[in-house]
Amino acid sequence: MKSKNTDPMKRFLKKHPFLAETERVHRLVDAAVGTPEPIQLPARAVTKTIAEKLPILQQETYRRRMVRAVYMMQEEVFARIAEADVPPLMQESARGYLAVLKPLRKAAKEEFIIAVLTQDKEAFAALCQRYDLNEGFIRSTIWRIIAALVPAEMKDPDMWNPDRDRPRFSENYCPVCGRQPVIADLRKYRQGRARDLVCGGCGTRWHYTRVGCVYCGNTDLQKMHTLEPEGSDIMRLDVCDACHHYIKTYRGPVDDDTSDFIYRQDWATVHLDLLAEEQGLQKKGNPILE
């Protein structure tokens, strides 16, 4: 019999013991980031995003607001990671970044954050190379800080599209930060299911059309196929033969199921990415990689 009292994460890890260490490290970084006061994003910013398809954090005013907020906390967060019980490489990478930041002026410290937030891959790679820093770790950690600073209501798909039959925003990039999605979530809607996309950077979810590749826009179903991993009935890979990218798609028991939040996190199905890699497929939307 299923006990309702068990922690859904405990149940999940019992089924996937090989993910225990990943979950532990993820949790320690969460603790290092903490729960800061989210930045303020007014209704008119949302209106502008819907009208101009310009993500909120790419609007000058709010981008600056976010950069300032990350700037205020980044050194504390990395200092906490350096002290946490995380793998030595992460501790070292955090210490390395702190040492680089220390003598820099405010504008130079913000340069890292701006390059991450604007997704200027070349600029961020060049910065990390110049200072010999662990690019993937720093970028993904800055995204974790950004995610913590985005107000919870902005991450709710119903906020972006209160009426799914008449969506106001259904682009293939995040309405809050502009990143491409990392996971798709087929959730029950009326008689069927609707597709939400999940941002691997800021954690926002938003509505997207049910059919086609979320990355290149290919809607030719002859050029799409799915991979259904053995032993996983609630996750599948939607593969595009036009651009050779795939997206992990969650189609679990939705609504009030308390384990939904786990499956919407990229790390929780990292074993499926290995499967995809074996097939020569390319992943998108993960902040460690891009």
Interaction between residue 176 and Zn ion (CB under 5 A): yes
Interaction between residue 243 and Zn ion (CB under 5 A): yes
Task: CB nearer to Zn ion: give 100 or 240.
Answer: 240
Q: Report in angstroms how near the CB of residue 15 gets to Zn ion at its nearest.
A: 29
Among 183, 194, 199, 272, which residue sits at the site for Zn ion (rule: CB under 5 A)? 199
Task: CB nearer to Zn ion: give 86 or 186.
Answer: 186
Q: Report in angstroms how near the CB of residue 142 gets to Zn ion at its nearest.
A: 13
Interaction between residue 177 and Zn ion (CB under 5 A): yes
* Residues ≥6 apart with Cβ < 8 Å to 14: none
Q: Report in angstroms how near the CB of residue 8 gets to Zn ion at its nearest.
A: 24
Q: Report in angstroms how near the CB of residue 56 gets to Zn ion at its nearest.
A: 9
Interaction between residue 184 and Zn ion (CB under 5 A): no
Q: What distance in Å separates the CA atoms of residue 147 and residue 33, rounded to the nearest whole number?
A: 10
DSSP string, 223-246: GEEEE--TT-SSEEEEEETTT-BE
* Residues ≥6 apart with Cβ < 8 Å to 101: 74, 75, 78, 109, 112
Going by their DSSP bridges, the two strands 192-199 and 205-208 should be labelled as antiparallel
- What is the number of residues in the chain? 290
- Residue range at the interface with Zn ion (CB under 5 A); choices 70-78, 110-118, 162-170, 232-240: 232-240
- Contact between 94 and 79 (Cβ < 8 Å): yes
- Residue range at the interface with Zn ion (CB under 5 A); choices 26-34, 114-122, 213-221, 264-272: 213-221
Among 13, 32, 184, 202, which residue sits at the site for Zn ion (rule: CB under 5 A)? 202
Q: Report in angstroms how near the CB of residue 260 gets to Zn ion at its nearest.
A: 18
Sheet containing strand 224-227, edge to edge, reads 205-208, 192-199, 181-189, 246-250, 235-240, 224-227
CA dist 222 to 51, 150, 201, 211, 219, Å? 33, 39, 31, 12, 9
Q: Report in angstroms how near the CB of residue 127 gets to Zn ion at its nearest.
A: 21
Interaction between residue 216 and Zn ion (CB under 5 A): yes
Return phi, psi of residue 160, to 5°: -80, -35
Interaction between residue 240 and Zn ion (CB under 5 A): yes
Interaction between residue 56 and Zn ion (CB under 5 A): no
Residues making contact with Zn ion (CB under 5 A): 174, 176-177, 179, 199, 201-202, 204, 213, 215-216, 218, 240, 242-243
